[in-house]
A and B are shown apart, each in its own frame.
Chain A
């Protein structure tokens, strides 16, 4: 039983990170209706920004950890907005396929520029937050897991507040519902889309730091697998749906951790794709998504 709880806890803290990345996919899909392949590499850049800031701040302190976290979020937000401005805005209104190919191009550009500038060999992420283990009977919780769960919860509450309680959040929902009508009532679509990219990328940056705290070996291709799995999480919850992305992330992280602890552990990377395929075949709208009818 305690092993089950331990695995559940590990799964939830992995799932929380997937959820953070998945939120970025879902929000961008909400306003632009395309999958931002480059999102997983923004996540990687977040971890690297943290790595470089982490050299400069005092180790093992909450203050230093927060500086790293905020720095990575800010850097990633700027990167996300830059990518949108340079690569996606010129293609507004172009065929879906062209945007998709561009997104793949941006993703590869970040990965391989990372290999040239950061080097392809993995690096060890500094332990910026204080790290201890708390034991409750047989159950062991590391302080990094606590950080992951607390930070994720705070960011999700913050996101919910931005989306439902602020003017720009209302504008985001309007653009997501109907971009043309939003423009007619005076919403500046470009500003809203740029803001959405910034917000999603900041979450990816936070995800990058939290991931690196728990798996402290970072390299320029580290984003590929978590990125794909977070995307699966977004589809699982219903793409375009913010609570769905959180639910999908937690579910996927838990399932993966349990598979990893079983005799099928070598297949853990295939599990996410198997879930994706099953979901798309039987309930393409996802768990919480609305089934929409295609109009001709």
Chain B
């Protein structure tokens, strides 16, 4: 992709343009679009770990919760002090929100580093279980911290999330992942996935690649968590359980692991599907699980992956 920075700039301008006219869009559609955006950030960032680097993580919701809690804590506890009683101007709020999202992302990235360094020595099934275990441990910890609301979670988070912030972070996550993977350095992610032993033999530090992928993935999961918290205005530890991780994993697999465009399409599809299928909502997870099994048996390269000859069994 030539001149990726221009694309990012254009995307940010488009986001700004759309948000300018957002009050003319039906609030229901606006909510759906924000939901799609948050899921896209989660899926694209998980795709860097599970897809491009080939390390199967089941703990993405855990990193999302770290970001959500940290960002919410910044705007709940730090916000009133910085902005004063009045609540500040729109620009001040925007800056505070940016700070909160960055803090949430960095906190999640730190959690990603702490989890990744020990667990990325493991492979396949074990890695999946350890990341799942860490996700559960993070949840149990949040349930036990009184300061963060315990099992009840945090309420009354200011509704800072707007379509602009969501689209901007979607653009940023897609830009980061695409540029990273297509760079000279980033080829190492693909090499790590394709053959770890061969990559090490030609001098790549595969452990470092895995950790870098994990940390960057966790950063965007944290930012998405921050966006989610300031969108729903309330967060609970159980909102970020194993099921949420699975939902993101399904998006990545459906889109075709290591295929950003496909993953974005899958995120859109899987966010719209429950909206359309609301009358049969109780069957949603059954459909997801059947989809997983059938895809793995019939079309393991994903639904939206049309490159032929690249899939090896």
B80 at the interface (CB under 8 A from A): no
Of B54, B122, B285, most buried by chain A (CB within 10 Å of CB) is B285
B126 at the interface (CB under 8 A from A): yes
In the complex, identify which listed stretch (A2-10, A86-94, A153-161, A243-251) lies at the interface while the others stay far away: A86-94
**Which residue from chain B places its CB closest to the CB of A86 in the assembled complex?**
B293
Q: Is there an interface contact between A266 and B144, defined as CB atoms closer than 8 Å? A: yes
A273 at the interface (CB under 8 A from B): yes
**Which residue from chain B places its CB closest to the CB of A109 in the assembled complex?**
B289
Q: Is there an interface contact between B289 and A106, defined as CB atoms closer than 8 Å? A: yes
Q: How many residues of A contact B (CB 8 A)?
A: 43
A183 at the interface (CB under 8 A from B): no
Q: Is there an interface contact between B289 and A105, defined as CB atoms closer than 8 Å? A: yes
Tell me the B214-260 residues at the A interface (CB within 8 Å).
242, 246, 249, 253
Q: How many residues of B contact A (CB 8 A)?
A: 41
Contacts of A252 in B (CB 8 A): none
Tell me the A251-282 residues at the B interface (CB within 8 Å).
266-267, 269-270, 272-274, 276-277, 280-281
A284 at the interface (CB under 8 A from B): yes
Bound-complex Cα distance A93 to B313 (A): 8
Tell me the A143-158 residues at the B interface (CB within 8 Å).
none
Bound-complex Cα distance A91 to B293 (A): 10
B282 at the interface (CB under 8 A from A): yes
* B249 smallest CB distance to A (angstroms): 8
Q: Is there an interface contact between A94 and B313, defined as CB atoms closer than 8 Å? A: yes
Q: Is there an interface contact between A280 and B300, defined as CB atoms closer than 8 Å? A: no
* B241 smallest CB distance to A (angstroms): 10
**Which residue from chain A places its CB closest to the CB of B143 in the assembled complex?**
A266
Q: Is there an interface contact between B143 and A277, defined as CB atoms closer than 8 Å? A: no
For A276, give its contact among B130, B282, B288, B313 (CB under 8 Å). Answer: B130
* B54 smallest CB distance to A (angstroms): 8
Known A-B contacts A281-B118, A284-B122; the reply to A109 vs B293 at CB < 8 A is: yes
B290 at the interface (CB under 8 A from A): yes
Tell me the B19-33 residues at the A interface (CB within 8 Å).
none
Q: Is there an interface contact between A270 and B141, defined as CB atoms closer than 8 Å? A: yes
Q: Is there an interface contact between B296 and A35, defined as CB atoms closer than 8 Å? A: no
**Which residue from chain A places its CB closest to the CB of B135 in the assembled complex?**
A273
Task: Please report the number of residue pairs spanning A and B whose Cβ atoms sit closer than 8 angstroms.
Answer: 107
For A102, give its contact among B121, B285, B297 (CB under 8 Å). Answer: B297
* A285 smallest CB distance to B (angstroms): 12
A166 at the interface (CB under 8 A from B): no
A115 at the interface (CB under 8 A from B): yes
Contacts of B180 in A (CB 8 A): none
Bound-complex Cα distance A108 to B122 (A): 24
A98 at the interface (CB under 8 A from B): yes
Q: Is there an interface contact between B118 and A102, defined as CB atoms closer than 8 Å? A: no
Bound-complex Cα distance A87 to B295 (A): 11
Bound-complex Cα distance A195 to B143 (A): 42
Known A-B contacts A112-B286, A116-B286; the reply to A104 vs B125 at CB < 8 A is: no
A113 at the interface (CB under 8 A from B): yes
Tell me the B100-116 residues at the A interface (CB within 8 Å).
none
Known A-B contacts A95-B313, A100-B124; the reply to A273 vs B293 at CB < 8 A is: no
**Which residue from chain B places its CB closest to the CB of A266 in the assembled complex?**
B144
Contacts A105-B291, A111-B285, A280-B126 aside, 15 further interface pairs with beta carbons under 8 A come to: A35-B129, A95-B312, A96-B124, A97-B56, A97-B124, A100-B125, A100-B128, A105-B289, A105-B293, A109-B290, A109-B293, A270-B140, A274-B137, A277-B119, A280-B119
The 15 listed contacts between A and B (C-beta, < 8 Å) are A35-B125, A94-B300, A102-B296, A104-B292, A109-B290, A112-B285, A112-B289, A115-B282, A116-B283, A224-B242, A273-B134, A277-B133, A277-B134, A281-B118, A284-B122
A-B residue pairs, 3 tightest by C-beta: A105-B292, A273-B133, A108-B289
Interface residues of chain B, those whose CB is within 8 Å of chain A, are 54, 56, 118-119, 121-122, 124-126, 128-130, 132-134, 136-137, 140-141, 143-144, 197, 242, 246, 249, 253, 282-283, 285-286, 288-293, 296-297, 300, 312-313
